[in-house]
Amino acid sequence: MTDHDFITGLPKAELHLHIEGSLEPELMFALAERNRITIPFATVEAVRAAYDFSNLQDFLDIYYAGANVLQTEQDFRDLAVAYFDRAAADGVVHAEIMFDPQTHTDRGIAFGTVIAGLLAGMADAETRHSMTSKLIMSFLRHLDEEAAFATLAAAEPWLDRIDAVGLDSSELGHPPEKFARVFAAARGKGLRLVAHAGEEGPPDYVRQALDLLDIDRLDHGNRSLEDPVLTARLARIGMTLTVCPLSNLKLCVVRDMAEHPIDRMLKAGLRATINSDDPAYFGGYIADNYRAVAMARGLDRNDLALLARNSFLGSFLPDDVVAKHL
């Protein structure tokens, strides 16, 4: 069996995926036409050519603009169905997907429109691919605490369909401490907690995510490695890191895939996983991410199997279901 087929065939969970980041340019154009929205690009190729980022903010500006074409429940369903189809082809059997309600509610789209469409896509994935999935509602950290509380309130009727809250968007200047109270409120409602930290932000933001947000899972976490005490702590408590290699490359978190720290993370005893983050913008889905780091860092099949195993251990599936996947 080729390495390519081994990676595709490895059953895996995807734990770090922004559904808005799976909007492929072809679907962007189709939705723009369907909803009579003008986008500042003439062709699909022109859109792809614009995906050249120097940092996280560069990407976010384009990512939020792209999301404007999403208007109706059907749009969100189509977006989710396209992602799940692609993920199934890559051997994903369980996906915990993030969505950013504020990206949509702030431009007048109802919370219910967004979530009803995504839930319909999730039901379709279960029917057609036997793929299970969970929803993570992410707060935009460049907005204030009050806006995050308003989002949590808007989610109230849907809380039985949301497994976790997350924290994403512009990291630098927006430390986890800003959201300590809203995360505590989410915990009080029985939700799991995840947060992006240590993507561009310093190790102290990771420490804050642990100490002030009480996270169950760490999104990215790359810069934790700059602090050996923090790294040892993450290993000791068995914290799952949702690492996104192609994202790291495209957003200049690493200069070259040959410098990616995935194997250093595993050697340090961290429960690292591989994920695609925003695959339509970063040039690859989950199997492409496995392949890119495997090639660049010389990972063998045992390493790849460990990464896939970690994805189930780090999921929010119940223990008996996790055990069936191991």
Residue ranges in contact with ligand ADE by CB under 6 A: 18, 21, 56, 63, 168-169, 196, 199, 247, 277-278
User: Is 90 one of the binding residues for Zn ion (CB under 5 A)?
Assistant: no
Q: Report the residue number whose CB is nearest to ligand ADE.
A: 168
- Given Zn ion, ligand ADE, none, residue 14, with its beta carbon under 5 to 8 Å by kind, binds none
Q: Which is nearer to Zn ion, 41 or 148 (CB)?
A: 148
Cα–Cα distances (Å) from 201 to 24, 101, 230, 270, 303, in that order, read 28, 23, 14, 19, 27
Residue 288 burial class via C-beta count within 10 angstroms: exposed 0-12, middle 13-18, buried 19 and up: middle
**291, containing H or E segment:** helix 286-297
- Given ligand ADE, Zn ion, none, residue 21, with its beta carbon under 5 to 8 Å by kind, binds ligand ADE
Given the residues 24, 199, 200, 259, the one annotated as active site? 199
Instruction: State which of positions 126-165 bind Zn ion (CB under 5 A).
Output: none
User: Is 75 one of the binding residues for Zn ion (CB under 5 A)?
Assistant: no
User: Is 200 one of the binding residues for Zn ion (CB under 5 A)?
Assistant: no
94 labeled binding residue: no
User: What sign for the dihedral angle of Cα 9, 2, 262, 280?
Assistant: negative
Q: What is the 3-state secondary structure (H, E, C) of 5-71?
A: HHHHHCCEEECCEEHHHHCCHHHHHHHHHHCCCCCCCCCHHHHHHCCCCCCHHHHHHHHHHHHHHCC
Decide if 199 is catalytic: yes
Token pair recorded at residue 97: 């997907």
Please tell me the distance from the alpha carbon of residue 128 to that of residue 126, in angstroms, as a whole number. 6
DSSP letter for 71, please. -
- Given Zn ion, ligand ADE, none, residue 231, with its beta carbon under 5 to 8 Å by kind, binds none
58 labeled binding residue: no
- Given ligand ADE, Zn ion, none, residue 169, with its beta carbon under 5 to 8 Å by kind, binds ligand ADE
Q: Which is nearer to ligand ADE, 73 or 278 (CB)?
A: 278
Give the residue from 276, 222, 272, 204 showing the smallest Cα distance to 244.
Answer: 276
What is the C-alpha radius of gyration for the chain, rounded to an integer number of angstroms?
18
CA angle 77, 194, 197 (to 5 degrees): 115
User: Is 73 one of the binding residues for Zn ion (CB under 5 A)?
Assistant: no
Q: Report the residue number whose CB is nearest to Zn ion.
A: 277
Please tell me the distance from the alpha carbon of residue 309 to that of residue 216, in angstroms, as a whole number. 17
90 labeled binding residue: no
16 labeled binding residue: yes
196 labeled binding residue: yes
- Given Zn ion, ligand ADE, none, residue 133, with its beta carbon under 5 to 8 Å by kind, binds none
User: Is 277 one of the binding residues for Zn ion (CB under 5 A)?
Assistant: yes
User: Is 20 one of the binding residues for Zn ion (CB under 5 A)?
Assistant: no
Cβ atoms of 46 and 304 closer than 8 Å: no
Q: Which is nearer to ligand ADE, 75 or 278 (CB)?
A: 278
**274, containing H or E segment:** strand 271-274
Which of these segments, 255-263, 269-277, 299-307, 308-316, binds Zn ion (CB under 5 A)? 269-277
Q: From the annotation, which residues make up the binding site for Zn(2+)?
A: 16, 18, 196, 277
Interface ranges with Zn ion (CB under 5 A) = 277
- Supply the residues annotated as catalytic: 199
Q: From the annotation, which residues make up the binding site for substrate?
A: 278
